Amino acid sequence: MKLIIFDIDGTIINSVKTDDECFIQTFAALYQIDLAKANWNEFTHVTDWGLTQEIFEKWQGRMPTKEDIITIKNHFYGLLLQRANEFTEVKNALIFIQQLSSMPDVEIGFATGGWKETAELKCNTIGLDLNNFIFKSSNDHFQRDKIMELVIEEAVNKHHNAEFESITYFGDGLWDLKATQALGINFIGVDNTQNHKLRKAGVEKVISDYEDLDRILGWINESKRTNGRHQKTTNQ
């Protein structure tokens, strides 16, 4: 049994630019915080929850309250909803997910650094219902690798504590790469904007879309056996 986990923004949906702009506008509108020149790679945890915590610590001198989080989510969601027509599927992503879903020896999960509510909005826009899959988000943890671990844990439990032959994560960010390295799982990069940052970071398996299904499936099938460390710890 293989476990395939997908990031969402920039990996299966063309949404990074719109998401970034709406995130920045949210903090400008609610807290007069200017993030226009922010480099997300300079933040410790590049997830919506992690970024929010660090932004509050730096600009507000405090941690966000539950009320802050609710207000931020609602405003952010509203901005994204107004621009939902901008969200498009990375070419053949849905076909690829459907093909994987038909395979008896594959489990699929989604692990995003975005909020649950906004991730569902974007996925619903392209016709992907996350309720049909194992899905974890920034609502569940502020660390990206922990979000991935939660997906792995649920998948292991779903299959009665079975150990997966391999675990492969599809992602578009350098933070995705770092998280997979920390967990010891396989990584396939997605570079649909042709920025080449993943190749520059040493990633050998990089796709721009999911058009070449045979090649991608070949990479998955030849993936090394995943380090069992995290699989075992999740069952303790």
Exposed, middle or buried, 136 (CB in 10 Å: 0-12/13-18/19+)?
Answer: buried
- On the question of pLDDT at 235 being above 70, the answer is no
What is the token pair recorded at 74? 């609602």
The two beta strands, 88-89 and 13-14, are antiparallel
Among all chains, which residue has been given the structure tokens 């570079």? 191
Which among 167, 169, 171 has a CA at the least distance from the CA of 198? 171
pLDDT tens digits along 118-138 = 999 999 999 999 999 999 999
Instruction: Report the percentage of the chain scoring pLDDT > 90.
Output: 91
Q: What pLDDT is recorded for position 223?
A: 77
Q: Is the dihedral of CA 50, 56, 62, 63 positive or negative?
A: negative
Q: Choose between 90 and 161: higher pLDDT.
A: 90
The two beta strands, 2-6 and 134-136, are unpaired
- On the question of pLDDT at 236 being above 90, the answer is no
Q: What pLDDT is recorded for position 161?
A: 83
- On the question of pLDDT at 231 being above 60, the answer is no
Question: What's the whole-number mean pLDDT along residues 166-181?
Answer: 96
Among all chains, which residue has been given the structure tokens 């609710």? 70
Question: What's the whole-number mean pLDDT along residues 38-54?
Answer: 95
Is there a contact between 208 and 194 (Cβ–Cβ < 8 Å)? yes
Q: What pLDDT is recorded for position 227?
A: 54
Is there a contact between 122 and 115 (Cβ–Cβ < 8 Å)? no
Band of pLDDT at residue 232, cut at 50, 70 and 90: very low
What is the token pair recorded at 79? 């901005």
Q: Which residues of 82-116 are buried (b: 16+ CB within 10 A; e: fewer)?
A: eeeeebebbebbeebbeebeeeeebbbbbbbbbbb
Question: What's the whole-number mean pLDDT along residues 107-111?
Answer: 98
Q: What pLDDT is recorded for position 31?
A: 98
**Rg of the chain (C-alpha set):** 17
